[in-house]
Amino acid sequence: MNHQREIFSSSQPLILESGTALESFDLIYDTYGCLNEAQDNVILIFHAFSGSHHAAGKLESDQDRGWWDSFIGPNKVFDTNKNYIICVNNIGSCFGSTGPSSLNELTNTSYGENFPEISVKDWNQAIFYLLCSLKINTISVAVGSSLGGMQVMDLISKKDVDVKKGIIIGATHKPRQLNILLNHVQRSILKLDDSSDALKVARMLSHVSYISNDFLQDRFKYNTQDLETKISDDIVYESENYLSYHGEKFVKRFNKDSFILMTKAMDSFYFDESKIDNISSKVLLISFDDDLLFPAKDMVEFHKLLKLKGVNSKHKNLKGTRGHDSFLYLTKEYKDELEKFINS
């Protein structure tokens, strides 16, 4: 598989929804496969909250394979033998695109907590600059899960790029009050302490909303944790150890300021229903029956709005395996629905 990693540096200011401008910015992105002569075989993949541009494969500098490796590659769902796949790390994140840890040239220090507030629309505008630089005007398929699904909603409702098909997985078209409060509590935890422990606890809280009780019960039952493998002395159950492990793992690759920025961006996304008239894309909506964060009813509601406006939309509610995180795990039913839509 032809796997490349590039950095797009824009000297064109990015005017954010907040009214602030980034005078310049970088986007790090991975590509898979080859762009055809007609430049119409592009699949644009949007990552979720803690994801990155590294969606598949493994370059020498990577410790692990990409977060959607089972989906992307030769003869896989997103087939690199036929398609040119692009995945971009959003600005404000912490994996190489301009974000809080980047140098603010005006102050000659890192932005830190002073990085300007960003939105889903800002992310897509930055990616539009990248697409223009690559002279890409047509997207064969735009696909995103969770936060990335919000970006697909926004993208297909714009007239900047011709998007033939949009796949929106485990997302919502408007803020959910419980999620706003959950994110508020997480940000409040981060304000209590600058140590990595605060980020760990905030992530543990969010991770609970990404999984399901059935998954926890099936995997852990009420098993107690072995003394030799306990992450901390206060742990009793295997499920507690699992959650603590994921919190510690997260701290090693994410940062507090990006966490705050990106949760606020999620909270502020409210799809403008008047923009549905702009949608010419064929749309697939996928939800999971055990998703606590963005329940299936959100996709049902959005599907009805699209159908009322004459959009060619299809909704499938699939059996989940991990709650909200089910979007990361390819089942036969999931694979069949994606392939059927892509090849239709």
Domain boundaries along the sequence of the chain: 3-174+271-342, 177-262
CATH number for domain 3-174+271-342, candidates 3.40.50.150, 2.60.40.10, 3.40.50.1820, 3.40.640.10? 3.40.50.1820
Q: Which residues are identified as catalytic?
A: 146, 291, 324
SS3 content of the chain, % helix, strand, coil (to 5): 40, 20, 40
pLDDT at 195: 84
Per CATH, the architecture of 177-262 is what? Orthogonal Bundle (1.10)
pLDDT at 106: 83
Torsion angle in degrees (nearest 10) through CA of 132, 133, 135, 139: -50
The contacts of residue 341 (CB under 8 Å, 6+ apart) are 165, 167, 282, 284, 314
Reference 342, options 280, 279, 283; nearest CA is: 283
pLDDT at 194: 83
Tokens representing 30?
A: 């991975």
Reported as type and span, the H/E element at residue 163 is strand 162-169
Q: What is the pLDDT along the chain (344 residues), one digit of tens a residue?
A: 999 999 999 999 999 999 999 999 999 999 999 999 999 999 999 999 999 999 999 999 999 999 999 999 999 999 999 999 999 999 999 999 999 999 998 888 999 999 999 999 999 999 999 999 999 999 999 999 999 999 999 999 998 899 999 999 999 999 899 999 999 999 999 999 888 999 999 999 999 999 999 999 999 999 999 988 888 889 999 999 999 999 999 999 999 999 999 999 999 999 999 999 999 999 999 999 999 999 999 999 999 999 999 999 999 999 999 999 999 999 999 999 999 999 98
3-174+271-342 and 177-262 share one fold: no
Neighbours of 312 (CB within 10 A): 13
